[in-house]
Amino acid sequence: MTPERYRRIRQMLAMRQPDLTVCLERVHKPHNLAAMMRNCDAAGAHHVHVVWNTRHEIRTGTSVGAQNWLKLHSHKSTADALASLKTQGMQVLVTHLSEQAVDFRRIDYTRPTAIWFGQERTGATPEAVAAADQQIIIPMLGMTQSLNVSVAGALILYEAQRQRQLAGLYNQPRLEEAECQRILFEGGYPKLKTLCRIKGLDYPQIDDEGQILASDAWWQRMQQDGRVKP
Phi-psi region of 181 (alpha: psi -120 to 50; beta: other; left: phi over 0): alpha
Q: Is 95 among the annotated ligand-binding positions?
A: yes
In this prediction, what percent of the chain has a pLDDT beyond 70?
Answer: 91
Q: Tell me: is residue 138 an annotated ligand-binding position.
A: yes
156 is in an annotated binding site: no
Lowest mean pLDDT among 104-113, 141-150, 191-200: 141-150
What's the pLDDT tens digit per position in 61-118? Answer: 444 467 788 999 999 999 999 999 999 999 999 998 888 999 999 999 999 999 999 8
What pLDDT is stored for residue 75 in this prediction? 93
pLDDT at 228 over 80: no
Listed in sequence order, the residues at least 6 apart from 177 whose beta carbon sits closer than 8 Å to its beta carbon are none
For 218, phi then psi, to 5°, come to -65, -45
Walk me through the domains of the chain, giving residue ranges and CATH numbers.
Answer: 1-15+175-230 (no CATH), 17-166 (3.40.1280.10)
| Predicted pLDDT of residue 225 | 66
Instruction: Please state the rounded mean pLDDT for residues 158-178.
Output: 96
- The pTM assigned to this predicted structure is 0.87
Mean pLDDT of 191-214: 94
- Mean pLDDT of all residues in the chain? 89
The CA–CA distances, whole Å, from 138 to 24, 27, 149, 159 equal: 17, 19, 11, 11
**Confidence category of residue 142, pLDDT binned at 50, 70, 90:** confident
CA distance 162 to 156: 10
Q: At what angle do helices 190-199 and 177-188 cross, to 10 degrees?
A: 110
How far apart CA 149 and CA 29 sit, in angstroms, is: 10
Q: What is the pLDDT of residues 55-67, one digit of tens each?
A: 554 544 444 467 7
- Supply the pLDDT for residue 226: 52
Contact 61, 30 (CB under 8 A): no
Cβ(152)–Cβ(138) under 8 Å?
yes
Instruction: Write out the E strands in the chain.
Output: 17-25, 45-51, 71-75, 91-95, 102-103, 113-117, 134-137, 205-206, 212-213
